[in-house]
Amino acid sequence: MTTIPATLTDRAGRQLNVHRAWPRDGGRLTFEATDADCGRVRAGTIGADGVVRLSPFAEDPVLSGLPGAAALGQLLVHRYKRRAVVRDDAGFTKLLAPGKAEGVAVAHRLMRTLAYPSGMVVPDVVVQDHDSVTLTAVHGTSLHELGRGSTADGHADGAATEDGDARWNGPGQDSGTGRPAGTGTWDGAGTWQNAWHQWAQRWPRLAVAQERVERGNVVEQGSVGQGSAGQSRVALPAHTARDECRTMARWVNQAQEFEALPVEPARLQRASAQVARLLISGAPQQAVLSHRDLHDKQLLFNPDSGSIGLIDCDTVAVAEPALDLANLLVHVDFRRAQGVYSAVAAQTAEQSVLTAAAAMGVSDARLQAYAVSTRLRLACLYAFRPQHQALAHRWFEDLETDLGGTAAA
C-alpha cells in the first residue's frame, strides 16, 4: 500500500497541501499539491517504497517547455511527466508529452467546427507546436463555480475546491463576469436555471444533429464558417460500451492495487463485474459526437450573451449519448454529496440532463448502465484524493447497495 499524504513540507520548510494523485505502474504515484501560503502548484512522485520526491516549481523532465511557459504566466495544473496548463495573456497553454500536441489540437479544431451550428462555443487553437497547444479563452463561468454559491456557505469540505484541486478557471475558461475567478455567481432562481436550460437546448443539437457523425465516420474539420477549402478529413475514434468497461475496470484494479479504498478486493471486483454486465447486456444506442469527459467544470455559461462554452475537448470521439449524459449526471450528484451543490441546485441540473436525454432518445436502461459505471469510476478516482477518500468510500458502499438491489430485481 502506497499512502498518499494530505500535507507535505518541502526543503524550504513550506507546507504543501496534496490535492490529487494518479496511480502509475510499479506501485508508484504522481501527485499535485499547492503551497499553503501562496497557492503555487507543485508536482512530484511517491515511489513504491513510500519515498516522496517533490519537483522544483515548474520543472519536469518530460515537459521541456514548462519552465519558460510558467515564467510568462500562471501555472494552473501540473501532472508530473504527463501534462501542465499555464494561463497567460494569449489564453491557456497545454504542455504535453512529445507526440501528444497534434492530437489535442486536431480534437479542438474538430469540435469547434462541429459545435458551431449548435450554438456552443469551443476554444480555438492559437498556436500548436510539437509539445504544446495554446487555446483561446471562452468567456463565461463554469457551471461548477455557479453552483458553488447554492450552498449556505458557498463552499464544500472546508478549503476543498476544484474536486480537491486548487481552484482555477479551466483551459479555455475566462470568468468574464466582472468578478474574480472562483468567487461564484449564484443568484438562486435565475442564472443557474438559465444556464442549465441553455445547455439542455444546445447539447442534443451538438451531439445528434451532426448527420456526418456516426461510428468511425470521417468528418471534415476547418475554421468555423469556412468552406471546403483548407479543410482536412479526420476519423473520429469510437468509444464503445466495452471500452467503457475497460476504463472502469482499470480504475477498479488500480484502487485495489494501491488499497486506495478500504474495501476487500472481492467486493471491488464483484461491483466491477456487475457494472460490466449492465453495460454489455443492453442494446447499444447509435453513437453520436461525444466529449468523453463531460462534467460541470467543462461547461461555461456567459449570462451576458446566454452562450454555453465547452472546454477540454482532448478526447472527442463518437459514443452512445448516454456516456456523456451519465457522466454529467453523476458528477452533479457527486457535487451534492461533496456539499458543493445544494439539493435544490442539484435537482435543477439533474432535470436538465434528463430533459436532454429524452430529446436524444436515451433509454433509462442505457443511462443507468453508464451512470453506475461512472459512479464506480469516480469512487476509485477520488480515493486517490486525500480530502475525499472518506466520501469515496461512502460513495462506493452506496453504489454497492444499489447494485445489490439491481441484481435482486
The angle subtended at Cα 245 by Cα 239 and Cα 250, nearest 5°, is 110
C-alpha 145/C-alpha 192 separation (Å) is 10
DSSP assignments along 143-201, one per residue: HHHHHHTTSTTS-SSTT--GGGS---PPTTEE--SSS-TTS----SSSHHHHHHHHHHH
Domains and CATH numbers, the chain: 1-89 (no CATH), 135-225+233-408 (3.90.1200.10)
For the record, the C-alpha cell of 370 comes out as 453508464
Task: Give percent above pLDDT 70 in the chain.
Answer: 83
Q: What is the pLDDT of residue 234?
A: 65
**Cα gap 197→287, rounded to integer Å:** 24
Residue 167 has pLDDT above 80, yes or no: no
* Dihedral sign, Cα of residue 175, residue 178, residue 179, residue 180: positive
Residue 212 and residue 220: Cα distance in Å, rounded?
Answer: 9
Beta bridge partners of 53: 45
Give residue-wise pLDDT tens across range 200-227. Answer: 999 999 997 455 544 445 455 554 444 4
Distance between first and last Cα of the chain: 37
pLDDT: is 158 or 86 the higher one?
86
Q: What share of the chain is helix, strand, coil (3-state, %, to 5)?
A: 40, 20, 40
pLDDT in tens, 49-72: 999 999 999 999 999 999 999 999
pLDDT in tens, 102-136: 999 999 999 999 998 899 999 999 999 999 999 99
